[in-house]
Amino acid sequence: MVKKWFGQGCGFGRKNHNGRCGLKACSGVPLSAKRTCGRTKVCSITGDRKHCARLAAMGLYPGNEIELVSAPDGENCLVRVHGGTISIDRDTLDHIVVTD
Amino acid sequence: MTNPIQSYTFALAGNPNAGKTTLFNHLTGARQHVGNYPGITVDRKEGYLNDNGRKITIVDLPGTYSLTAYSAEELVARDFLVNEKPEVVINIVDASNLERNLYLTTQFLELGVPLVIALNMVDVAKTRGITVQAEKLEEILGVPVVPIVARSGLGTRALLDAACRIAAEGNAWQPLDISYGDDLDATILRLVEVITTSRFLTARYPARFTAIKYLENDEQILDRGRDESPAIAAELEADVARVSQHLQKTLNVFPEAIIADHRYGYLKAVLRDGVITHAFDVDRLYTSDKIDKVVTNRLLGPLIMIGILLGLYQFTFSWSEIPVVWMESFFGWLGATVENLLAEGPLRSLLVSGIIDGVGGVLGFVPLILFMFFGIAVLEDSGYLARVAYMMDRVFRSFGLHGSSVMPFIVSGGIAGGCAVPGVMATRTLRSPKERMATLLTVPFMNCGAKLPVLALLIGAFFADHRALMMFLFTMLAWLVALCAAKFLRLTVLRGESTPFVMELPPYRFPTLRGLLIHTWERTWQYIKKAGTVILAISILLWAMMTYPGLPDAEQQNYTEQRQQVMAAYPETMDEQGGVEAKHQVDAVDERAALLAAIDREESAAALRHSAAGRIGLALESLSRLAGFDWRTNIALIGGFAAKEVIVSTLGTAYSMGDVDAEESASLSKRLQRSDDWNRVVAVAALVFIMFYAPCFVTVACIAKESSWRWAAFSMTFNTIFAFGLAVLVYQVGTILGLG
Ligand SMILES: Nc1nc2c(ncn2[C@@H]2O[C@H](COP(=O)(O)OP(=O)(O)OP(=O)(O)O)[C@@H](O)[C@H]2O)c(=O)[nH]1
Ligand SMILES: [Mg+2]
């Protein structure tokens, strides 16, 4: 079910998680796999184009720095970005690739 | 010479939770709902204000993060701006979180609307060590920037003056140009040229704005463009598609990500110029984040949540106990007084049994409601409810609901004591229609304020030693049933994919006493108002159904004769003699009174059986006995179809009229405890039925308005059948286990 929603592929990044993103090349892991808090950088975001655009408006777009308030560890998590705290569900986390 | 009366329209726009409604309320004196939770306002609201002879209309818009048509709220806000063209847009930005908030501002500037920036929450910014140089920001952005504290009203005078000044100038819209990098700028220039030469959509939007929205793939503007001129629209779309493909190939992004990046980049540059100074390290976590590390912890979080709920119930029950008794005795006294003042007859019966018992029974619980609402207001204003939504999202997801469903559930009484009507409306924040329907149909299962009196009564009567715990268990049961029902709906009639849930968490705030009192009073007042209107009408109707048709003359004659026999057997006259004689006579007087009262009670019981409501109750008894309900309970449950509040009062009337063995007048809770028809198992079965059967009429009408009459009818029948089945199960199992 979830796959279908994200399946359309908005093209923010390559599916193999190792492509170029933002304006520089970077390799990384899905945010959902992160085990630690702290700063990291968004490499790419995949999924429904509208959803990606909403995330971008909230400050989550490739090339931007974010700070994990809680470690996702397979669940939803809190992220600080541009001075605000955003909660992100786990399906979206799967589609955000960040630097390792 | 007289000045013509000036009238202006100011729109309040900004990010969710920036304080728009707080400012709106302050300016217009309105009492729109404010809460420390993003997305409280879902529709535009208008208010008026008279300022030095100027008539000003203030429009409160839903909060948005951008002006692109990604969601309904964004459409409401943008459509208002471009269609109604307000004289001034007051952009409320949160000074403690400037970068994020100014993102929307850049789009207002690009749209070119006459703008005034209200720099709100400077008090919060100060405690975080953030200082914003308003003059400097004003200089860079070229629009007035006024620091305010919407909560206290500080700076709102200056804000209004600035807005009036801009309105009086009446300048044409002046869009700002932001650079989006070489690639996109070249494209935008090309698009703008096509748009200006063909005057494409220029009546509504500036050319550059349209070009950017084309790049951002804004569906509403794409549709409008196709309607206006299919040929030009196709030309623009083809150009944009080419650029998009190129960007994907080279940078692997869509244009909107690059646009967002440049807007934030533009803001970084603006803010770097000494606009903002931090007293502390920029990177340090704010207190809010530190609290969140504990409160939303995977293990501790749910425990804290349970602790807070139990504490709230304990607080509510223990603090409201004494005032509830006071209210009860007040209405008891009122009823007795009216009874003594008026002669027996339909009028007295209507006043005492219909109105005082009916409305008084509902008003008697006002203290309980008051304390519950106060507790909920604390949770909402502090920002804790947003954390609840965050933690519950995981659970909700597995039942086919959404993180945004949490707020409608809580508004409907998820903590106990809300109302399903605003709960149903609050489902508008859900974007997916199927998730929205599933939420809308299950929120009436929550324990709204109207069910609270029944819960309090039955828990008090049968589980007096564990009231807070039982309240907690029944709340959990409501959630469990609602979630399972949602899952069932999502697996059958409302099948569909789940949608993402991304929400900005508001910072924790100290609630102000004023805010708490306003919240508490507002909701309590709603409850009181309903008691005085809807409940009054229903009580009178129920009274009539329980009184008419009256007993046939022959039977009435029968009771009169019995009374005369008693009177003849015990003559009233007493001799002024002492000793054994007198003692004997006193006994005789007592006996006579007891016999007469017994006849009265028997007559009223017979009358109730004979009445329309009594007949319905009796007719249903063979079925309702499966769940342990006697005919008098049935009458109350039927009343509950109209409004759940009347269940308690109707039960009270039915039991005082129909109770043949009662020694003397006693409280309803005592009567139920003593009655053969009630015990713990029946109490639980009745509560289960009352919690889950058909929503009240007002909710059904609201469901119909928000969806369709078919869904409303579905909700009535589905819930009633389901609730009855569950009640039967509880009663039968409980009885077999001998728990009664
Ligand atoms: N400390 C402080 N808090 C404020 C101020 N203005 C508003 N608040 C609080 O901020 C929270 C959000 O206020 P609202 O007025 O509901 O915000 P809104 O912009 O209407 O939000 P939505 O309707 O959800 O878009 C509430 O808890 C307010 O009490 C302020 O100047 N200072
Ligand atoms: Mg609001």
Minimum-distance ligand 1 atom for the alpha carbon of B92 = 19
**Total number of domains in chain B:** 2
Residue B260 lies in a domain: yes
- Point out the residue among A13, A80, A89 whose CB comes nearest to the CB of B501: A89
- The rounded Å distance from CA B279 to ligand 2 centre is 30
* B152 neighbors B25 (Cβ within 8 angstroms): no
In the prediction, which pLDDT does A20 show?
A: 35
Residue B111 lies in a domain: yes
Per CB-CB distance under 8 Å, the chain A contacts of B298 are 75
Q: Can you state the angle between helices B255-272 and B181-198, rounded to 10 degrees?
A: 110
Residue B732, pLDDT above cutoff 50: yes
Which residues of chain A are within 8 Å of residue B403 when distances are taken between CB atoms?
A: 87, 89
| B165 and B37 assigned to the same domain | yes
Residues B63 and B208 in one domain: no
The CATH code of the domain that includes B62 is 3.40.50.300
- Whether residue B509 lies inside any domain: the answer is no
The domain that holds B237 is classified in CATH as 1.10.287.1770
| B207 and B142 co-located in one domain | no
- Taking residues B689-717, report their average pLDDT: 92
Which is more confident, B738 or B185?
A: B185
Tens digits of per-residue pLDDT, B50-92? Answer: 988 889 999 999 999 999 888 778 888 999 999 999 999 999 9
- In a domain? residue B666: no
Q: If you measure from the C-alpha of residue B73 to the centroid of ligand 2, how many angstroms do you get, rounded to a whole number?
A: 11
Give the tens place of pLDDT for each residue, B348-378. 888 888 888 888 878 888 888 888 888 888 9
Contacts of B68 in chain A (CB under 8 A): 53, 57
CA distances B473 to B2, B468, B478, B694, B733, Å, are 69, 9, 9, 21, 18
Decide: A66 and A98 in contact? Cβ < 8 Å: yes
B120 is in an annotated binding site: yes
Q: Which helix (H) or strand (E) holds B79?
A: helix B72-79
pLDDT at residue B355 in the model: 87
Dump pLDDT digits (tens) for B477-511: 999 999 999 999 999 999 988 888 899 999 999 89
Q: Do B70 and A4 touch (CB under 8 A)?
A: no
What average pLDDT does the segment B303-321 reach? 87
Name the burial class of residue B315, with classes exposed (0-12), middle (13-18) and buried (19+) by CB atoms within 10 angstroms of its CB: middle
Is B63 annotated in some ligand binding site?
Answer: yes
Give distance in angstroms: CA of B645 to centre of ligand 1.
33
Range with the largest mean pLDDT of B296-305, B448-457, B726-735: B726-735
Q: Which ligand is nearest to the CA of B25?
A: 1
> Which of B100, B252, B254 has the CB atom closest to A82's CB atom?
B100
A39 to chain B: closest CA residue? B283
* β-pairing verdict for B88-94 and B115-120: parallel
Identify whether the C-beta of residue B492 lies closer than 8 Å to the C-beta of residue B428.
Answer: no
Alpha carbon of B677: minimum distance to chain A alpha carbons (Å)? 50
Q: Which ligand is nearest to the CA of B13?
A: 1
Q: Could you tell me if B709 and B431 are in contact, meaning their C-beta atoms sit under 8 angstroms apart?
A: no
* Cα B299–chain centre separation: 29
Asked whether residue B41 falls in the same domain as residue B103, the answer is yes
Supply the pTM of this predicted model. 0.82
In this structure, is residue B195 part of a structural domain?
yes
Show the domain range for B253.
Answer: 181-278
Tokens describing residue B486 = 């949602």
Helix/strand/coil for B196: helix
Instruction: Please state which of the ranges B212-221, B275-284, B475-484, B570-579 shows the lowest mean pLDDT.
Output: B570-579
B38 falls within a domain:
yes
Nearest CA to B389 out of B39, B695, B734 is that of B39
Are B18 and B159 contained in the same domain? yes
Preceding amide of B552 cis, omega within 30: no
Are A56 and B260 inside 8 Å of each other by CB? yes
Residues B486, B439 contacting (CB under 8 angstroms)? yes
CA distance B300 to B77: 39
Sign of CA dihedral B403, B405, B407, B413: negative
Q: What pLDDT digit, counting tens, does each position of B249-282 carry?
A: 888 888 999 999 999 999 988 888 788 888 776 6
Tell me B70's DSSP state: S
Is there a single domain that holds both residue B162 and residue B200?
no
B259 contacts on A by Cβ (under 8 Å): 56
CA gap B660, B665 in Å, rounded: 11
Indicate if B255 and B163 belong to the same structural domain: no
Q: What percentage of residues in chain B have a pLDDT greater than 70?
A: 96
Q: Decide if B289 and A44 are in contact by the 8 Å CB cutoff.
A: no
Yes or no, beta carbons of B216 and A53 under 8 Å apart: yes
- Per-residue model confidence (pLDDT) at position B284: 62
Average pLDDT score over chain B = 88
B22 CA distance to ligand 1 centroid (A)? 6
Is B25 labelled as part of a ligand binding site?
yes
Indicate the Cα dihedral angle B485, B491, B497, B500, nearest 10°. Answer: 20
> pLDDT grade, residue B166 (50/70/90)?
very high
Residue B41 known to bind ligand: yes
Last residue of a domain, one of B128, B148, B169: B169
Q: Which of A2, A56, A84 is closest, CB to CB, to B504?
A: A84
Confidence band for B313, pLDDT divided at 50, 70 and 90: confident
User: Do residues B106 and B178 make contact, with C-beta atoms less than 8 angstroms apart?
Assistant: yes
pLDDT exceeds 50 at position B711: yes
In a domain, B44, yes or no: yes
Q: Which residues are bridge partners to B93 per DSSP?
A: B119
d(CA B690, CA B446): 11
Judge whether B64 lies within some domain.
yes
Q: Do B157 and B191 fall into the same domain? A: no
Chain A / chain B CB contacts < 8 angstroms: 154
Q: Indicate whether B224 and B163 sit together in one domain.
A: no
* Domains along chain A with CATH numbers: 2-98 (2.30.30.90)
Residues of B in contact with A54 (CB under 8 A): 65-66, 70-71, 502
Are B17 and B154 contained in the same domain?
yes
ipTM of this predicted complex? 0.79
Sheet holding B88-94, edge to edge: B45-51, B54-60, B7-14, B88-94, B115-120, B145-147
pLDDT of residue A32: 86
Report, as an integer, the average pLDDT of B317-325: 85
Is B40 within any annotated ligand binding site? yes
User: What is the pLDDT, as a whole number, of residue B660?
Assistant: 56
List residues near ligand 1 (CB under 6 A). Answer: B 16-22, 34-36, 38-41, 62-63, 120-121, 123-124, 149-151, 381, 509, 515
Comparing CB atoms, the residue among A14, A61, A83 nearest residue B260 is: A61
At B285 the pLDDT is 63
Among residues B99, B134, B169, the one where a domain terminates is B169
For ligand 2, the distance from its centroid to the CA atom of residue B426, given in whole angstroms, is 13
| Mean pLDDT for the stretch of residues A56-80 | 86
Q: Which of B169, B204, B231 is the last residue before a domain boundary? A: B169
User: Do B74 and B17 belong to one domain?
Assistant: yes
| Cβ within 8 Å, pair A53-B390 | no
Q: Do A2 and B216 touch (CB under 8 A)?
A: no
A55 contacts in chain B (CB < 8 Å): 502
Q: Closest Cα of chain A to B645: distance in Å?
A: 38
pLDDT band at B668 (very low <50, low <70, confident <90, very high): confident
| Cα dihedral across residues B214, B217, B220, B223: positive or negative | positive
Whether B704 and B711 have beta carbons less than 8 Å apart is answered as: yes
Q: Hey, whose CA ends up nearest to atom 21 of ligand 1?
A: B17
Residue B148 annotated as lining a ligand binding site: no
**Contact assignment for B264 to A88 by CB distance below 8 Å:** no
DSSP assignment letter at B508: P
> Diameter of chain A by CA atoms?
33
Sign of the Cα pseudo-torsion (B233, B237, B238, B239, in order): positive
Which residue's entry shows tokens 């007289």? B2
Tell me which DSSP letter residue B350 carries. I
Average pLDDT over residues B575-579: 51
Token pair for residue B556? 């009435």
Query: Strand ranges (DSSP E) for B95-188?
Result: 115-120, 130-132, 145-147
- List the single best residue of B128, B254, B278, B429 to mutate versus A (max A Cβ within 10 A): B254
Q: What are the C-alpha distances in Å from B5 to residues B54, B114, B130, B170, B191?
A: 6, 21, 42, 16, 43
Note whether B153 and B95 are same-domain residues: yes
